[in-house]
Amino acid sequence: MPLIDYSVADGVCVLRLNAPPFNWITLPLLDELRVAVRRANLDAEVRRLVIMGDAGRFSAGAEVALFRDIRSAEDAVRISRIFQEAFQEIEDSAKPVVAAVAGKTPGGALELALACHGRVCEPGTLFSMPEVTLGINPGAGGTQRLPRLMGVEPALNLLLTGQALNANAALALGLVDAVCAADDLVRCASAVETLRKTRERTDRIADRSANEAALAAAVQHDAATGRPEFVAPSAIIEAVRTGLSESFEAGLRAEQEQFARCMATPATRNKIYVFFARGDLAKVRDMSGISARAVTRVAVIGMGSMGVGIAQAVMQAGLPVTVTDADPSALENGRQRIRESLEKRVAQGRLSPERLTKMLTLFSATTDWQEIGRADLVIEAVFEDVAVKRTVLGQAGRAVSDHAMIASNTSTISLDTLAEGVKRPERFVGLHFFNPAQVMPLLEVIRRDGTSAETVASAMQFAKTLGKTPILVRNREGFVVNRIFIPYLKEAFSLLEDGAEASAIDQAMVAFGFPMGPLTLIDMAGIDILALTDAVLRRAFPWHGDLSAIVAAMVEGGWLGQKRGAGVYLYASGNRERRDNPAAQEIFAAERQRAGKLPRTVGAEEITQRLIMRMVAEAFRVLEEGLAQRESDIDAAMVLGSGFPDWRGGGLKYARDLGLENVLRQLEMLEKQLGKRFAPCKMLREIKGT
Ligand code: NAD
């Protein structure tokens, strides 16, 4: 099968990318494209070329797998040069070439379009240059052609944020020449009148002082918000600058060199590692011959923080949802909260008013179990209490038909403990959403030994229907994310007890790369939740040790966090700005004294080491116990579920980068000083040499 379809009608040669479903730009596709462009130039019938994909998608860009094979600076330069030369050949075509673009058009796909002499797109097209989010600069001429086409400031904006530009904005900025209906793309592309080589354009880059100002602003923004580990923004700025101050060709060379520079950094390599790890998450091993059963109607039991978010996620996926709660007022409340949240999306332009109206009709509330029984998936999201959950799961099991699935959203409780009350345990599965459920991308799908393969396949499929990234994990208290993350939060309280300042703990983790510190986060989730979840984990894993008495004292004092206006920090009403909470600080000091600890200064280094190594120790245990399908699944789950910085690759990759010998030494030292919770597991001791 050719990767490029060649057809000619009325003097127009359509070169259709034929690598479904994504039309990734691979090296073989580039080769065929070059051959096709040459052929069209020799074809007497052809007056104009149109490069396009199919109605819904032009191309998803350069195949990211190419990055996996880059081992050296030479490899990076070579790959970049191959793309640049291929696109240059298109731009050099004697007969005009127009790109007819549709769908999401990121990175290399946009760079291909930029090398054409004109561009048209359908109304739903989204243009973006997401390379920066992977830690690299575009390497196929994007840093050179974009400024020439749309001006330096808007080009830098696109290149440095990775954000998408819609069709109308692209038209207004001069990125495309026309927007037309998807089924009219070829005619529209044939009608573009002004056709020019992008690299020869100077009209948008003529104002030198404006160019300098845009570059200076970009440098300043990077200095203020970037991190020294991320070189992609400065690489992009450098390539753009060289292209402007020297020449287009010098700019292309700078692009190659900067690409090699980015690829040589650990931060970029780790981002790419996480990119692939995320892609692997949804792949379930040993499922051949097993088909998923589609979920068409969902019921959610418990309209608390989680139930409301889960119901909304289901509605956003276009599925009907019936909800119930023991507390009738929770039903109306839930409906109201979902409506408000969706209305906010409409106000932000992320949802059309028509879709909102349609979505709201998908919601129904009931107190009748027969109604619940009509669902083919029931998700339980009641209190984290074994007895309450067992009762509810029992009721659900009796109400539903034989083929229905029943799921629990428990954060920590072993599904084996809950399965006792379930009528058809083979159709029982864990669906652990993260808060807020309508937003967070990760969904842990938990299988027990008794869960059927069909149920696993159906649950994974359902997660994808919701637009979530599912990770399949085996059943054990806390599963993967909480099993690793709760000990980290818990360690933050041990550090408080030892004398560390709350703000120093949070700052250390932000400096490490987390979006927020552990104490800020626990204030958001509720300090009582930590006490509850830790109790389950500690029973299952005794080496986790005691939770600092600070937590119980805070709960007893009602300092539960943001929901009460104060926790570790004080929150001014109505906003999330925080200040130190003197009452909490008194509790820290009193509990420190009660534990017989002398006040001491705990520095950032100790804070970071203890918090991160606590996670690393637990992540290796999760690996040892075979709870995840692959090592990289654990890393991806840490990134998506707990905010571990992707550029450090997740906890296990971070440990491997540090060197397992080194990690082992640190853990042994911490174990000696602080106790068994830091003890390296057997597997870590054995694999350290590998
Ligand atoms: P919540 O206390 O906000 O809500 C629980 C809801 O369940 C309440 O509205 C309550 O009235 C209702 N309920 C209690 N008993 C019931 C019964 N017998 N029948 C019907 N409804 C009943 O709790 P939440 O934070 O939404 O947590 C719910 C579940 O989700 C828990 O298992 C929790 O561990 C898990 N979870 C919570 C989070 C989180 O961040 N809050 C994250 C992931 C998972």
Pocket probe for ligand 1: among 300, 301, 312, 325, the residue whose CB has the most ligand atoms within 8 Å is: 325
Predicted confidence at residue 267, as pLDDT, reads 96
- Tell me the pLDDT band of 576, cut-offs 50, 70 and 90: low
Helix (H) or strand (E) holding 33, with range, is helix 27-42
Comparing C-alpha atoms, which of 75, 188, 91, 104 is closest to residue 149? Answer: 91
Q: Is the pLDDT of residue 668 over 80?
A: yes
In the chain, pLDDT over 70 holds for what percent of residues?
99
Q: What is the dihedral of CA 478, 483, 487, 488, to 10 degrees?
A: -120
Buried residues in 448-474 as b, exposed as e (16+ CB within 10 A): bebbbbbbbbbbbbbbebbebbbbbbb
Distance from C-alpha of 221 to C-alpha of 230, rounded to nearest angstrom: 13
Distance from C-alpha of 566 to C-alpha of 572, rounded to nearest angstrom: 9
395 Cβ inside 6 Å of ligand 1: no
Predicted confidence at residue 689, as pLDDT, reads 57
Predicted confidence at residue 535, as pLDDT, reads 95
What's the CA-to-centroid distance between 473 and ligand 1, angstroms?
22
Predicted confidence at residue 506, as pLDDT, reads 97
128 Cβ inside 6 Å of ligand 1: no
333 Cβ inside 6 Å of ligand 1: no
pLDDT tens, position by position, 577-630:
789 999 999 999 999 999 999 888 999 999 999 999 999 999 999 999 999 999
Distance from C-alpha of 423 to C-alpha of 314, rounded to nearest angstrom: 25
Cis omega before residue 436 (within 30°)?
yes
Pocket probe for ligand 1: among 308, 383, 443, the residue whose CB has the most ligand atoms within 8 Å is: 383
509 Cβ inside 6 Å of ligand 1: no
Predicted confidence at residue 258, as pLDDT, reads 98
Q: Is the pLDDT of residue 64 over 90?
A: no
327 Cβ inside 6 Å of ligand 1: yes
pLDDT tens, position by position, 424-456:
999 999 999 999 999 999 999 999 999 999 999
325 Cβ inside 6 Å of ligand 1: yes
Nearest-atom number in ligand 1 for the CA of 388 is 18
- Tell me the pLDDT band of 574, cut-offs 50, 70 and 90: low
pTM summary value: 0.92
- Tell me the pLDDT band of 55, cut-offs 50, 70 and 90: confident
What's the CA-to-centroid distance between 191 and ligand 1, angstroms?
59
pLDDT tens, position by position, 173-203:
999 999 999 999 999 999 999 999 999 999 9
Mean pLDDT of the region 339-359 = 94
Do strands 405-408 and 377-380 pair parallel, antiparallel, or not at all (unpaired)?
A: parallel
Nearest-atom number in ligand 1 for the CA of 306 is 26
What's the CA-to-centroid distance between 326 and ligand 1, angstroms?
11
440 Cβ inside 6 Å of ligand 1: no
Nearest-atom number in ligand 1 for the CA of 433 is 43
pLDDT tens, position by position, 405-415:
999 999 999 99
DSSP conformation class of 598: P
Which residue is closest in CA terms to ligand 1's atom 9? Answer: 304
Predicted confidence at residue 575, as pLDDT, reads 59
Q: Is the pLDDT of residue 260 over 90?
A: yes
Predicted confidence at residue 690, as pLDDT, reads 53
What's the CA-to-centroid distance between 409 and ligand 1, angstroms?
9
Comparing C-alpha atoms, which of 274, 313, 640, 614 is closest to residue 471? Answer: 640
**Are 406 and 428 spatial neighbours (Cβ–Cβ below 8 Å)?**
yes
What's the CA-to-centroid distance between 309 and ligand 1, angstroms?
11
Which residue is closest in CA terms to ligand 1's atom 25? Answer: 305
307 Cβ inside 6 Å of ligand 1: yes
What's the CA-to-centroid distance between 346 and ligand 1, angstroms?
28
Q: Is the pLDDT of residue 559 over 90?
A: yes
- Residues annotated as catalytic are 432
Predicted confidence at residue 68, as pLDDT, reads 82
**Are 296 and 273 spatial neighbours (Cβ–Cβ below 8 Å)?**
no
Predicted confidence at residue 69, as pLDDT, reads 83
Mean pLDDT of the region 253-257 = 98
Mean pLDDT of the region 644-662 = 97
- On average, the pLDDT of the chain sits at 95
309 Cβ inside 6 Å of ligand 1: no
What's the CA-to-centroid distance between 306 and ligand 1, angstroms?
6
Mean pLDDT of the region 668-687 = 96
Predicted confidence at residue 73, as pLDDT, reads 92
234 Cβ inside 6 Å of ligand 1: no
Structure tokens at 190: 């044939």
Q: Is the pLDDT of residue 38 over 90?
A: yes
Q: Apex CA 419: angle with CA 417 and CA 422, to 5°?
A: 145
Distance from C-alpha of 570 to C-alpha of 579, rounded to nearest angstrom: 5
381 Cβ inside 6 Å of ligand 1: yes
- Tell me the pLDDT band of 421, cut-offs 50, 70 and 90: confident
Nearest-atom number in ligand 1 for the CA of 384 is 32
Nearest-atom number in ligand 1 for the CA of 330 is 9
Q: Is the pLDDT of residue 1 over 90?
A: no
pLDDT tens, position by position, 120-150:
999 999 999 999 999 999 999 999 999 999 9
**Are 53 and 108 spatial neighbours (Cβ–Cβ below 8 Å)?**
no
- Tell me the pLDDT band of 420, cut-offs 50, 70 and 90: confident
- Tell me the pLDDT band of 71, cut-offs 50, 70 and 90: confident
Structure tokens at 431: 């669906």
177 Cβ inside 6 Å of ligand 1: no
